[in-house]
Amino acid sequence: MPHWLQLMLDSLGPLLWAAVKFTAPLTILSFALGLTVGLIAALIRLFAPAPFAAAIRFYVWIIRGTPLLVQLFLIFYGLPSAGIIIDAFPAALIGFTLNIGAYSSEIIRAAISSVPRGQWEASYSIGMSFQQTIRRTILPQAGRVAVPPLSNTFISLVKDTSLAAAITVPELFQAAQRIVATTYEPLILYIEAALIYLALSSILSALQVRLEHRLNRYGGFLEARS
C-alpha cells in the first residue's frame, strides 16, 4: 500500500472523531442559536421603534463589515484584557452565533418583506392579532422563501468552523494540524481534511435540493420548468 494512502487511512479515524465531537456540535449549535438571533433581529428591524431598529442595523453593520476570524480573536484573545475569560469552544460558539445571526437576520427580513401585503390584510380581516398573523401566516410563507439562502449559510458554516482552529478548538482542521506536526506530511493531511469538508458539503447540498423540491411540490419555479 502506498505511504500516502496508509497515512490517510491511519488519520481518518482521528479526523472523523474531531468532526463528530467538535465540528458538528459547533455547526449545529451555532446555526440554531444564530437563527434565533436572526429571527429576533429581523422582527426588531421591521417592527420595533426606531432606536431598537437602529441598534440592530449597527449590529449587522459591524458583523458584516469585519472578518469572522477577527471577531473570534476579539472574543477569545481580546476579552481577557478586559477581565472576561471565555474557553475556546464557548468563544467560538459566541462568535459564530453572532455572525450567523447578523447574516440570517437580513435573509429573514427580506423573506418577510417578500410576503404580499394582502396576506396581512387577509389575516386581520378574519380577526387575527399581529402576533397570530406573524406566527400563522407570515412566517410560514417567509420560511419557504428563506430556506435556500439559509441552507447555503448552513453549508458555509460547516466550512467556516475550520477558523475555530485559530482559537485552539480541537475540531477537524486542528486535528489535521496536530497530525501534520507529528508526520510532517502537510499536503496529504490537508487534502484529506479538504475531502472530508467536501463530502460533508456535498451531503448537505443534496439534502438542500431535496428539501427545496419538497417545498415546491405544490407549485413554483421548479415545477413550472418540468
pLDDT in tens, 202-212: 999 999 999 98
pLDDT digits (tens, 9 = 90+) for 35-84: 999 999 999 999 999 999 999 999 999 999 999 999 999 999 999 999 99
pLDDT the model gives residue 221: 42
Segment 133-154 shows an average pLDDT of: 93
**Do 96 and 111 form a contact (C-beta atoms < 8 A)?**
no
Nearest alpha-carbon partner for 199 in 23, 2, 4, 1:
23
Q: What is the 3-state secondary structure (H, E, C) of 141-158?
A: HHHHHHHHHHHHHHHHHH
**pTM as predicted:** 0.91
Burial class from Cβ neighbours inside 10 Å (0-12, 13-18, 19+) for residue 194 reads middle
- What is the residue-averaged pLDDT of the chain? 93
Nearest alpha-carbon partner for 75 in 88, 91, 51, 99:
91
Judged against a pLDDT cut of 60, whether residue 143 lies above it is answered with yes
Q: Which three cell numbers stand for residue 62?
A: 459591524
Q: Which helix (H) or strand (E) holds 198?
A: helix 186-215
